[in-house]
Amino acid sequence: MNRVYNFSAGPSMLPLSVLEKAQAELLSYGTSGMSVMEMSHRSADFKPIIEGAEAALRQLMNIPSNYKVLFLQGGASTQFASVPMNLLRQSKRADYIISGQFSKKAYEEAKKYGDMAVAASSAGADPIFSTIPATTRASFRPDADYVHICYNNTIFGTKFPEIPDTGMIPLVADMSSCICSEPVDVSKFGMIYAGAQKNVAPAGVTIVIIREDLLGERDAKGKFVGTYVRPDTPAMLNYCQMANEDSMYNTPPCWCIYMAKLVFEWILDMGGLEEMKRRNEKKACLLYDYLDNQDYYIAPVESKCRSMMNVVFKTGNEDLDKKFASEAAAAGLKNLKGHRSVGGMRASIYNAMPYEGVEALVAFMKRFAEENPKD
């Protein structure tokens, strides 16, 4: 086995010890006599897995008891529709902060279901989306049913420097590329969602953390009746239905939930999100410090909006960028090519990327700069 440092933006690296555990118990999990991939989702064997995944995530993120945790399918892109279908409660209006491609996609999708407005945008920044637009409470329509943000922007390497103040309006955040990378005050959000394939698990499971009052009333048995859900919402996109069935309205993506549990436990074993943040900062600082103290590579993102997870840079010469990505891959540093919409390079250094991987990258960057002087 000859493992590389994989800087992919997602799906991306998983902790080696987690992969080794999954490998060891792949043919037979515990005393079950079967693989987790073969388990009935309603069996006594699987129950502790999905419940354990939720418990570990609740502990890790310190999720208040008035929030539901759901394990869904379809990635963040499905949430782009589910959010307005479920959360347009009164005015059928919502406000979006546009800070990159995914928040823009979320906004475009939501327009199918109500009156959507752009509260702020960094599309006009130079270069595009190299910063996070500032907002105040006055930026939002007072009767908006929610405000939507993408907390960390994978493609452009930015992150909200602070949580926007939306007053009483529930804040909904796509945290696909930063969930579990550092502590976050869940109580400041109405809802958090994340495709798991960047920081948590293989592609195929989406985490939704939602404040219960946003799901509306309950019946005598404590089940949500779907007060606010748009009537033509597909059952699978209906948060009330999913909450009522503990994410088991149909067969959930069991293997991905199992992998998420292993990753959550790996973080807990390490010391939780405070320790994860310390490690992630150390990695990101190594890279940003280098970038700030040389003049070969250009780092376009405004300092205070820099992402700890996705570090973008370029040489300023497309041919050199190509050469960089290709020679880096040959040196065991894979997937450093920037997103096709922006070019350049992007180093995604999620939780599972070891410090040694970033050291190896910086060493490569220095060598490449020496060996490839610009005209």
Q: Which is nearer to its own copies, 112 or 137 (CB)?
A: 112
CB of 300 to its own copies, least distance (A): 22
Residue 243 identity: A
Q: Which is nearer to its own copies, 323 or 339 (CB)?
A: 339
CB of 185 to its own copies, least distance (A): 28
Note if the bond before 11 is cis, omega within 30 degrees. yes
**For the chain, what's the residue count?**
375
CB of 289 to its own copies, least distance (A): 27
CB of 296 to its own copies, least distance (A): 26
Residue 72 identity: L
Q: Which is nearer to its own copies, 2 or 65 (CB)?
A: 2
Number of alpha carbons in the 13 Å side-chain half-sphere of residue 150: 30
CB of 255 to its own copies, least distance (A): 5
CB of 271 to its own copies, least distance (A): 23
Are 309 and 152 a contacting pair, CB within 8 Å? Answer: yes
Q: Which is nearer to its own copies, 71 or 146 (CB)?
A: 71
Neighbours of 356 (CB within 10 A): 10
Are 266 and 18 a contacting pair, CB within 8 Å? Answer: yes
Report which of 36, 6, 96, 61 is spatially closest to residue 360, judged by C-alpha positions. 6
Q: Which is nearer to its own copies, 223 or 334 (CB)?
A: 334
3-state SS of 286-330 is HHHHHHHCCCCCECCCCHHHECCCEEEEECCCHHHHHHHHHHHHH
Q: Which is nearer to its own copies, 138 or 330 (CB)?
A: 330
Tokens of 135: 């907002």
d(CA 75, CA 80): 9
Element (H, E) at 58: helix 47-61
CB of 206 to its own copies, least distance (A): 9
- Binding residues for its own copies, rule: CB under 8 A, are 1-4, 6, 8-14, 16, 19-20, 22-23, 26-28, 32-35, 37-41, 43, 73-78, 80-82, 85, 109, 112-113, 195, 197, 202-205, 231-232, 234-237, 249-256, 259, 332, 334-335
User: How many Å separate Cα 125 from the centre of its chain?
Assistant: 23
Neighbours of 126 (CB within 10 A): 7
CB of 77 to its own copies, least distance (A): 4
d(CA 141, CA 239): 25
Tokens of 259: 């992998």
Q: Which is nearer to its own copies, 249 or 296 (CB)?
A: 249
Q: Which is nearer to its own copies, 202 or 300 (CB)?
A: 202
